[in-house]
């Protein structure tokens, strides 16, 4: 009876606590990996969204007319 009391803490055996701790650590590791993947994906999306060279490469006509219009607007504004 005394040995059984030493192995349990608040009604939970030491082996059960070790298993529960291992499961929690695995869940934390999975969550950490998922957060890291999400941050990397977000970083890639931000880099792609501010890449003006890629925009010009994929839409040359739109880029030309936008730059022409902006130049015209700036030129007329200074007069």
Encode pLDDT of 42-72 as tens digits.
Answer: 999 999 888 889 889 999 999 999 999 999 9
Q: Where are the domains of the chain?
A: 2-77
- The pLDDT of residue 10 is 63
Please spell the DSSP secondary structure of 22-37, one letter per residue: HHHHHHHHHHHHHHHH
- The pLDDT of residue 52 is 87
- The pLDDT of residue 1 is 47
- The pLDDT of residue 15 is 81
Would you say 51 and 43 are in contact if contact means Cβ atoms under 8 Å apart?
no
Would you say 46 and 39 are in contact if contact means Cβ atoms under 8 Å apart?
no
pTM of the predicted protein model: 0.53
d(CA 24, CA 27): 5
Q: What is the largest CA-CA distance in the chain?
A: 97
């Amino acid at each position: 009876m005394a040995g059984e009391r030493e192995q349990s803490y608040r009604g939970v055996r030491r082996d059960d606590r070790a298993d529960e701790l291992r499961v929690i650590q695995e869940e934390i590791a999975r969550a950490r990996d998922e957060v890291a993947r999400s941050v990397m994906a977000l970083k890639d999306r931000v880099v792609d969204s501010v890449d003006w060279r890629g925009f010009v490469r994929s839409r040359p006509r739109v880029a030309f007319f936008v730059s022409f219009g902006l130049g015209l607007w700036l030129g007329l504004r200074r007069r």
